Amino acid sequence: MLVSAAALVLASGAFTAYTWLTFRAAMVEQLSVQARIIAFNSASALLFNDPVSAQKTLGALGASPSIVDAAIYDNGGGVFARYWRGRKSLIKAFPQISKSQTEAHWYTHGELSLARRIEPQGKPLGVVLIRCELGELTTRLEGYAAITAAVLAACLGAAVLISAGVHRSVSVPVIRLAETARLVSRDKNYSLRAAATGSRDELDFLIQSFNGMLEEIQQRDASLQKAHDELERRVEERTGLLHAANKELEAFSYSVSHDLRAPLRHISGFSKILAEENRDQLNADGRHYLARIEEGARNMGRLVDDLLSMGRISRQEVVRRPADLNLLWQEAWERLQPEFEGRKIEWRIGALPAAECDPGLIKLVFTNLLSNAVKYTRRRECAVIEAGQITVDGEDVIFVRDNGAGFDQKYAHKLFGVFQRLHREEDFEGAGVGLATVQRIIHKHGGRIWAEGKVECGAAFFFTLVPRKPSRPKPANSVSS
Amino acid sequence: MIHAAVEILLAEDNPSDVELTLRTLKRSNLLNTVHVARDGEEALDFLFCRGPHAGRDFAAPKVVLLDLKLPKVDGIEVLEAIRADERTRLLPVVILTSSREQADVTSSYKLGVNSYIQKPVDFEQFQETIRQLGLYWLVVNQPPSEG
Ligand SMILES: Nc1ncnc2c1ncn2[C@@H]1O[C@H](COP(=O)(O)OP(=O)(O)O)[C@@H](O)[C@H]1O
Ligand SMILES: [Mg+2]
């Protein structure tokens, strides 16, 4: 709107200026022609010193109403003949024309003056001067200006009308559409609709497509929300069940911890008292049986304790934070030190990485693996226990290795089961809960654990702490019946 | 001496535990001043001279050995009541229990228990623990002066 107005004003300005310039040029041309005619006709009058005839020639100028006055000067600069209209001529001075020119013109107070040498066949006889007023020019110019202004006004009016129309039929709907889009994206409210224009044009088509899109999004949103709610509800339900189961398990282990241990304590206590106070009434067999009873009670007490702690660990949440595995190993090592005091063990401990893990639980892993390594190398003159990190298939794997009693690789899969043991109680005491606990902890971290062993050569345990990155897909199970 | 001042209040419902504990205390020459309460309510009645013990003059024992799982009023509640009463606020209380549940340990310490002892399954250890306990609270430890 502003731009078109500016363009119009500029155009009409240029037009007016152009008209003004051409008019002036035309005026000068017209005067020049008249000056030439007068110069031609008055040459002989000047030559023969006949002012009357020159006067007559000048009088012909009366036909041009815009000419105010005119004069013919002789070579001496005196006025030879003169013409004027209305009031007395103001011409006094002899007009100066530069040597190189035969004609000159200039403007003064709304008047145009033109002087021309009178020199037939190059012989200078005098000068003719004509003055005309520019009133005509101004009048015509005013006429033109009025027309231009009228056209300008009409154009501007039309532009305003058109732009208002465009504003109403294009801009307003587009702005409303944009506003709707903005609101939709801000509030995620897909039930909003852009207002239709009512006309059947491209814009209306655009708005309808936009609304159609919103409709679709709204529907998808609704079904997504429904699926989400359903899922949420199910998760809640399952979580509730899980919580209930967990609570039950907790209550169970709580009562086990209280109630199962008490009778064990009584068995142990009373058999001890019996052995003490009735020693003399018992024969060797009786004393042996009593010792067995006591041992059984003690073992069961240990089992109950191990089971309870495994249950506790199973229920415990893994809380990952950055931890230095070297430190955890060191702490486990220090805690177990009483178990291997006085033994000859060669330690080969490599650098362990820092890892995001539950430090308490991983320390327990190290404690269990280390305690096994110490236990199962007991018969070695010189035990060697190694720990460190290796990379297998791009995965960081931590290992603990010893040169102890080892086990038959055939049974390696059984190691991690609860109460599963590969050694006899007489050879190596134990409950068979340690590795089961270790495996639970590793699995809770998303890692894997496996073992390698050879009878009387040693055993090695390997584990990872993060889920394996998905690489090549596993080949489908090809076992067919 | 019929009314010798009670030095130990044992709150324990299990007869076997009572027997084993008493035997141990006896062996450690600490038996003569033990009173046994078989549930939490009885323990509080005894302590605060209520119900069947209404006639007793108030005299706090030197130590209370408290099982957690007691009928009627459980050990934690007994401990709460002891700590809430001005007369027994500072009375030494030792929790003596089978449980090693962390929740029990935590709530006991929050209520200001003096020690928390898990009864060992091994009888010899049990005996030793009781002996140490009796010695510490009855012989070594100076009871807090009544203010
Ligand atoms: N370092 C090892 N060397 C040889 N055998 C082992 C080693 N660690 C574990 N095992 C075998 O795995 C079994 C299960 O171990 P674990 O769960 O720790 O139970 P426990 O040590 O109480 O027997 C052990 O009984 C033993 O047979
Ligand atoms: Mg083990």
Determine what percent of chain A is predicted with pLDDT higher than 90.
29
Q: Report which ligand 1 atom has the smallest distance to the Cα of A429.
A: 23
Helix ranges (DSSP H) in A341-388: 359-376
- The Å distance, Cα A431 to ligand 2 centre, comes to 7
- The Å distance, Cα A255 to ligand 2 centre, comes to 25
- Chain A partners within 8 Å of B121 (Cβ): 261, 264-265, 268, 297-298, 301
Kindly tell me the burial class for residue A474, based on how many C-beta atoms sit within 10 Å of its own C-beta (0-12, 13-18, 19 or more).
exposed
Higher pLDDT, A375 or B138: A375
Of the residues A105, A124, A143, which one is the last residue of a structural domain?
Answer: A143
B98 contacts A265? CB cut-off 8 A: yes
The answer to whether A321 touches A359, Cβ cutoff 8 Å, is yes
Q: Please give the biggest Cα pair distance in chain A.
A: 189
Higher pLDDT, A258 or A425: A425
Residue B36 binned pLDDT confidence (cut-offs 50, 70, 90) = very high
Residues A368 and A423 in one domain: yes
Q: Which of A47-51, B97-101, B104-108 has the lowest mean pLDDT?
A: B97-101
What is the mean predicted confidence (pLDDT) over A217-230?
A: 91
pLDDT of residue A451: 96
Q: Is residue A178 part of a domain?
A: no
The answer, yes or no, to whether residue A91 has pLDDT greater than 80, is no
Counting Cα atoms < 13 Å in the Cβ hemisphere of A431 gives: 20
Which among A368, A415, A433, A461 is the best mutation to test ligand 1's pocket, defined by most ligand atoms within 8 Å of the CB?
A: A415
Q: Is residue A197 part of a domain?
A: yes
Token duo for residue A182: 């903005």
Which among A413, A421, A439, A452 is the best mutation to test ligand 1's pocket, defined by most ligand atoms within 8 Å of the CB?
A: A421
The answer to whether A386 touches A394, Cβ cutoff 8 Å, is no
Residues A388 and A297 in one domain: no
Residue A259 near chain B (CB below 8 Å): yes
Residues A305 and A206 in one domain: yes
Q: Is residue A172 part of a domain?
A: no
pLDDT of residue A119: 86
What's the mean per-residue pLDDT of chain A? 86
A9: domain CATH number is: 3.30.450.20
Q: Is residue A222 part of a domain?
A: yes
Q: Which ligand lies nearest the alpha carbon of A432?
A: 1
What is the rounded CA–CA span in Å between residue B24 and residue B128? 8
Q: Which of A285, A361, A270, A355 is nearest to A318 (CA)?
A: A361
For residue A386, the enclosing domain spans 319-481
Pairing mode, if any, of strands B63-66 and B93-97? parallel
Of the residues A294, A315, A336, which one is the last residue of a structural domain?
Answer: A315
- Chain B partners within 8 Å of A265 (Cβ): 17, 20, 98, 119-121, 123, 126
A257 contacts B16? CB cut-off 8 A: no
pLDDT of residue B2: 43
Q: Which of residues 179-198 of A touch B (CB under 8 A)?
A: none
Cα A95 to Cα A76, A91, A117, distances in angstroms: 12, 9, 10
Chain B residues touching chain A at CB-CB below 8 Å: 14, 16-17, 20, 23, 68-69, 97-101, 119-124, 126
Token duo for residue A138: 């101004």
Residue B28 binned pLDDT confidence (cut-offs 50, 70, 90) = confident
A401 pairs with which residues across the strands? A386, A460
Cα A80 to Cα A5, A37, A49, A275, distances in angstroms: 57, 17, 9, 172
Q: Go through the domains of chain B in sequence order and give each one's CATH number.
A: 8-139 (3.40.50.2300)
The answer to whether A357 touches A445, Cβ cutoff 8 Å, is yes
Q: Is residue A237 part of a domain?
A: yes
Q: Is residue A166 part of a domain?
A: no
Residue B144 binned pLDDT confidence (cut-offs 50, 70, 90) = low
Element at B34 (helix H, strand E): strand B34-37
Residues A273 and A419 in one domain: no
Of the residues A285, A315, A345, which one is the last residue of a structural domain?
Answer: A315
Q: Report which ligand 1 atom has the smallest distance to the Cα of A437.
A: 17
Classified as helix, coil or strand, A267 is helix
Residue A249 near chain B (CB below 8 Å): no
Residues A382 and A357 in one domain: yes
Task: Please tell me which residue of chain A has the smallest CA distance to B101.
Answer: A254
Q: What residues have CB less than 8 Å from A287, skipping those under 6 apart?
A: A275, A279
Residues A271 and A329 in one domain: no
Residues A390 and A471 in one domain: yes
pLDDT of residue A326: 96
- The Å distance, Cα A455 to ligand 1 centre, comes to 13
Residues A336 and A286 in one domain: no
Token duo for residue A85: 């209209």
Residues A323 and A306 in one domain: no
Residue A22 binned pLDDT confidence (cut-offs 50, 70, 90) = confident
Determine what percent of chain A is predicted with pLDDT higher than 70.
95
Its ipTM equals 0.71
A411: domain CATH number is: 3.30.565.10
What is the rounded CA–CA span in Å between residue B73 and residue A4? 96
Hey, what long-range contacts does A188-192 have (CB within 8 A, 24 or more apart)? A190/A214, A190/A217, A190/A218, A190/A221, A191/A218
| Protein residue with least CA distance to atom 9, ligand 1 | A372
Highest mean pLDDT among A12-16, A277-281, A295-299, A300-304: A277-281
Q: Is residue A149 part of a domain?
A: no
Which among A372, A378, A384, A416 is the best mutation to test ligand 1's pocket, defined by most ligand atoms within 8 Å of the CB?
A: A372
Total tally of structural domains belonging to chain A? 3
Residue A269 near chain B (CB below 8 Å): yes
A106 pairs with which residues across the strands? A113
Kindly report the nearest CA distance between residue B56 and chain A, in angstroms.
Answer: 33
- Chain B partners within 8 Å of A258 (Cβ): 68-69, 97-99
Q: Is residue A455 part of a domain?
A: yes
pLDDT of residue A89: 62
Cα B75 to Cα B10, B21, B85, distances in angstroms: 11, 17, 16
Residues A297 and A361 in one domain: no
Residue A297 binned pLDDT confidence (cut-offs 50, 70, 90) = confident
The answer to whether B7 touches B25, Cβ cutoff 8 Å, is no
Residues A412 and A466 in one domain: yes
The answer, yes or no, to whether residue A92 has pLDDT greater than 70, is no
Residues A305 and A370 in one domain: no
